[in-house]
Amino acid sequence: KRYFKAGEQIHVMLRGQRYEFDFAEMEQRNLDTGKVRKIRAPKPSALKIV
């Protein structure tokens, strides 16, 4: 949530694949294959900090 709100980029490894999430462009990029997908914003209820 924090990265989404700030519009930042993060890099993660999931199931052996390296990904970049660009929240300013709302894209997910597989760094090994180069495939890019659009991502959706979280539901507003998911952004509430309790």
Provide the pLDDT for residue 24. Answer: 87
Provide the pLDDT for residue 20. Answer: 95
Confidence of residue 50 (pLDDT cuts 50, 70, 90): low
Provide the pLDDT for residue 5. Answer: 63
Contacts of residue 34, defined as CB under 8 A and 6 or more positions apart, other chains included, come to: none
Give, in order, the Cα–Cα distances in Å from 34 to each of 14, 29, 37.
15, 6, 10
pLDDT digits (tens, 9 = 90+) for 3-49: 666 667 889 999 999 999 998 899 999 999 999 999 988 777 655 65
Instruction: Assign domain 2-47 one CATH number from 3.30.720.50, 3.30.1300.10, 3.40.640.10, 3.40.50.1820.
Output: 3.30.720.50
pTM of the model: 0.70
Provide the pLDDT for residue 1. Answer: 57
